[in-house]
Structure 1
Amino acid sequence: MTLIYGHRGAKGEAPENTLASFQKCLEHGVRRCELDLHLSRDGELMVIHDPTLKRTTGRHGKVVQHSAEELVGYDARQGGPGWVHPCPIPRLSELFEKCDFEHWQLEVKSASRVRAARTVLAIQALAERYGLLDKVTVTSSSREVLRALNRLTPQLSRGLVAEYAWLDPLKVAKHNGCELLALNWTLCTPERLEKAQKQGLHVSVWTVNEPALMRRLADFGVDSLITDFPGLAVATLTR
C-alpha cells in the first residue's frame, strides 16, 4: 500500500505551507505531510519554502531578517491558487497544535554549520514538547544539515532529499544514517527502488501530480508519494 504525503500541505489546492493548505490535506483524509522550514531572526521555526519572502508574500528580504512575530503577520497567499482569506506564514508550533498528522517530513534547506545546528536542535526541542518525536523525519539534501542531525540529534529520524543522481543517493543515505529517501520521481527506477528498500529505506517520491504516474509508481512499489493534490491521489490509488 503506497502512502500519500501532502506536499507543503495541499499545494495545488491552497496556498503552500499555510494552515489552510494543511487543513485541506487533512480534509482529504491524508494524514501525512511534507513541509519546509527556515529559522526566524529570533530562532523560531517558520513554515516557508524559500529563504526569501518575495514569491509567497510579495515582501522583500530574507526570512531570517524578520522576527517570528513579524512573519506571522505576513500574508503568504501569493504562493498558490486564489484564496479568499489571508494566509499567514505559520510557526511550526502552530501546525503541531492544530493539525493531527500521523507523520511529518520536515525539510531543512542548505545551511551553514551554525544555522544547521540551531535548526535541528530547535526541531528536536519542539517535537519533544509536543510529544511528536516518533512522528517526525527531518529531511535535507544538505550534508551540513545531515551531519548536524547525526552529531546533535541522533534520536531524530532523518532522510536524504535526492534530486540528482550525480552522487549515489543510496550511499549518501547510508553514510548519514538515514531511514527515509525522498527521491525525485525521475530517479525512481525499479532497480534503485528495490536496492533502497533492501537497504531498509522508506522511499518517498516527489512531486507526483499525474494519476497515471501515481499508479505507475505505486505499481513499482514505492513506500509513499508526495503530491500537490492529495485528494486526487486518494481517488487515484483507492479505486
Structure 2
Amino acid sequence: MAGHSKWKNIQVRKGAQDAKKGKVFTKVTKELMLAAKAGGGDPNINARLRSAIAAAKAVNLPKDKIEQAIKKGTGELAGGNLDEITYEGYGPGGAAILVEAATDNRNRTVADVRSIMSKNGGSLGEAGSVGWMFDKKGVIELDKAKYAEDQVMEAALEAGAEDVSGDGENWEVTTAPESLYAVRQALEYAGMELLSAELTMVPKNTVAVDAETGRKLLKLLDALEDYDDVQKTHANFDLPEELLAEMG
C-alpha cells in the first residue's frame, strides 16, 4: 500500500486546490447523481449514496444542492442524464492508469480523454488492459500526528477493516467496499477526524519511476483531473523520495 499512500497524499493536496477552484463541487454533485441513479435515492439502503453524501458534506456542499443532485439522479428532476465509464491506459514509463468519468456525451469524452493522454505522453488502451492490476477498496486516511497506531487499529479492525498501514504523515485504513461506511462510522464514533474516506481503486503492485518520469505522470494526471468529465484517476506508480520531498 505504500505507493498508493504516497500518491493518495498528493491527490489529497490536489483536492484541496480543486476545492478552491470550485471543481470539487462539480465532482461531488456528479457522484451524488450517479449513486442515486445506480442504487436509488434512499441512503439507508444505498451504501454508495451514503458515502457520496458524506463526501459532499465534507466539502460543505449546501444541503439543498445535495437533495437536488439526488433527485436528478433518480429522475425526479431533469438534468440527471449522466453515464459513468472507466477508461484504461498507460502513462509515461508504462504506468497503468484508470480514469473514472461521468458524461452526458460518451463520444466527446473518449475523444477528449484520448487527446489529453496523447498530449502528455500517455495512450488510451482497450477495456480490460490495465483494470486487472487494481482492486476496488475503501480507503480512509487519518493524521498520524493526532492518533496512535493502536487507537486506529482497535477501532478500525473491530469494525471490519482489512488493514491499517502508515506511510508518511497519515494512517491508511483499507476496507472491503461494502465495509467502508461501517468502518468510517466506527472511527468517527471513536472521536477521530478523518482526512478522507472513499471508494477507490488500489493497485495490486506499484512500479517505481524516476523523478523525470514522475513529473510527467503527475502532469498527465493533473491534466486529466482538470477535465470536467473526469471524476477520479488511479495509477500504479511509486514516486521517488527526492520528488516527494521536492513537492513538500
Q: Normalising by structure 2, what TM-score? A: 0.30
* More helix as a share of residues: 2
Q: Normalising by structure 1, what TM-score? A: 0.30
